[in-house]
A and B are shown apart, each in its own frame.
Chain A
Amino acid sequence: MVDLTPTEEQRHIQAAAADLLAARSREAGARAVRAEPAGYSAELWKEMTGLGWPGLALPEEYGGADGGFLELCLLFEELGRHQVPSPLLTTMACAALPIARHGSAAQRAQWLRAVAQGRTLSYVRAAPRGDWNATGSDVVAEPAGQGFRLHGTALFVPYAGTADALLVIARTGGPEELTALLVDNAPPGVRCERLDVVGNDPHYRVDFTAVTVPGERAVGAVGSGRTVAGTAAELGAAATCAEMAGGAQGVLDMTVGHARRREQFGRPIGSFQAVQHHCANMAVDVLGSRLGAYESIWRLSQGLPATMEVSLAKAWGSEAYQRVCALGHQVHGAIGFTYEHDLHFFHRHAVASALAFGDADHHIARVTRYLGL
Chain B
Amino acid sequence: MNWEETPDERDFRHEVRAFARERFPVGYGPDPEAEHSLEPEDVWGYDWPADRLSRDPARRAGARAWAAALAERGWIAPGWPVEYGGAGLSAMREFILREEMMRAGVPTVNGIGAMLLGPTLLEYGTEEQRAAHLPGIARGETTWAQGFSEPGAGSDLASLRTRAVCAGPGSGSYLVNGQKVWTSSAQYADWLFVLVRTDPEAPKHKGITFLLIDASSPGVAIRPVQDMRGATPFAEIFFDDVSVPVANRVGAENQGWYVAMAALGFERAGIGATVKFEQVLSRLVGCLRSEKEPGCPGRDTAVLRHEIAQRYIELRTQYNLARHTASQLEAVGIPGHEASVSQLFGAELHQRLARTGAKAFGPYAQLWQRDGAPMEAAFAHMRFDAVAATLLGGTTEIQRRVIATRGLKLPKS
Tell me whether A and B are bound partners. Answer: yes
**Residues of chain A having any CB pair with chain B under 8 Å:** 1-7, 10, 70, 252, 256, 259-260, 267-268, 270-273, 275-277, 279-281, 283-284, 287-288, 291-292, 294-295, 298-299, 302, 304, 309, 312, 315-316, 361, 364-365, 367-368, 371-373
**8 additional contacts (CB under 8 A) given A3-B2, A275-B410:** A1-B2, A2-B326, A4-B327, A5-B1, A270-B411, A280-B399, A280-B407, A283-B404
Q: Which of B92, B288, B337, B407 contacts A2 (CB 8 A)?
A: B92
Residues of A within 8 A of B1 (CB): 3-7, 10, 70, 294, 298
B interface list, Cβ under 8 A from A: 1-6, 9, 92, 285, 288-289, 300, 305-306, 308-310, 312-314, 316-317, 320-321, 323-324, 326-328, 330-331, 337-338, 341, 344-345, 397, 399-401, 403-405, 407-413
Set A283, A288, A372: member contacting B320, Cβ < 8 A? A288
Report Cα–Cα, A287/B326, bound state, in Å. 15
**CB-based nearest B residue for A373:** B305
Among B305, B317, B323, B409, contact of A316 (Cβ-Cβ < 8 Å): B317
In Å, the complex CA distance between A259 and B285 comes to 43
Report how far A270 CA is from B401 CA in the complex, Å: 11
User: Could you say which residues of chain B place their CB within 8 Å of the CB of A4?
Assistant: 1, 3, 320, 323-324, 327
Give chain B residues whose Cβ lies under 8 Å from the Cβ of A364: 306, 309-310, 313
B410 touches A292 (CB 8 A): no
A5-B316 CB under 8 A given contacts A270-B410, A283-B341, A284-B345? no
By a CB distance below 8 angstroms, the chain A residues around B321 are 287-288, 291
Complex contact A371–B308 (CB within 8 A): yes
Check if B316 sits within 8 Å of A276, measured CB to CB.
no
Closest 8 CB pairs of A and B: A276-B404, A280-B400, A270-B410, A291-B320, A280-B403, A367-B309, A271-B411, A373-B305
- Cα distance A260–B309 when bound, in Å? 38
Output the least CB separation between A208 and chain B (Å): 37
CA distance A288 to B92 in the complex (A): 19
Asked if B411 and A280 sit within 8 Å, CB to CB, the answer is no
- What are 21 A-B pairs with beta-carbon distances under 8 A? A1-B92, A2-B4, A4-B324, A280-B404, A283-B337, A283-B341, A283-B403, A284-B341, A284-B345, A284-B403, A287-B341, A291-B321, A295-B3, A299-B3, A302-B4, A304-B4, A312-B313, A312-B316, A364-B306, A367-B309, A371-B285
Q: Which residue of A lies closest to B288 (CB)?
A: A373
Known A295-B3, A298-B1, A364-B313; contact A280-B344, beta-carbon cutoff 8 A = yes
Q: How far is the CA of A283 from the CA of B337 in the complex (A)?
A: 10
CB distance from B403 to the nearest CB of A (A): 4
Question: By the criterion CB–CB under 8 Å, are A373 and B309 in contact?
Answer: yes
- Given the known interface contacts A281-B400, A364-B306, A371-B312, the answer about A292 and B412 at a Cβ–Cβ threshold of 8 Å is no
Residues of B within 8 A of A6 (CB): 1
- The chain A residue with its CB closest to the CB of B304 is A373
In Å, the complex CA distance between A166 and B331 comes to 45
With A2-B323, A6-B1, A373-B309 in contact, do A272 and B9 touch (Cβ < 8 Å)? no
User: When A1-B92, A3-B331, A298-B3 are in contact, do A277 and B404 touch as well, CB less than 8 Å?
Assistant: yes
Instruction: Tell whether, in the assembled complex, residue B2 and residue A273 are in contact, meaning their CB atoms are under 8 Å apart.
Output: no
Q: Which residues of chain B are within 8 angstroms of A361 by Cβ–Cβ distance?
A: 306
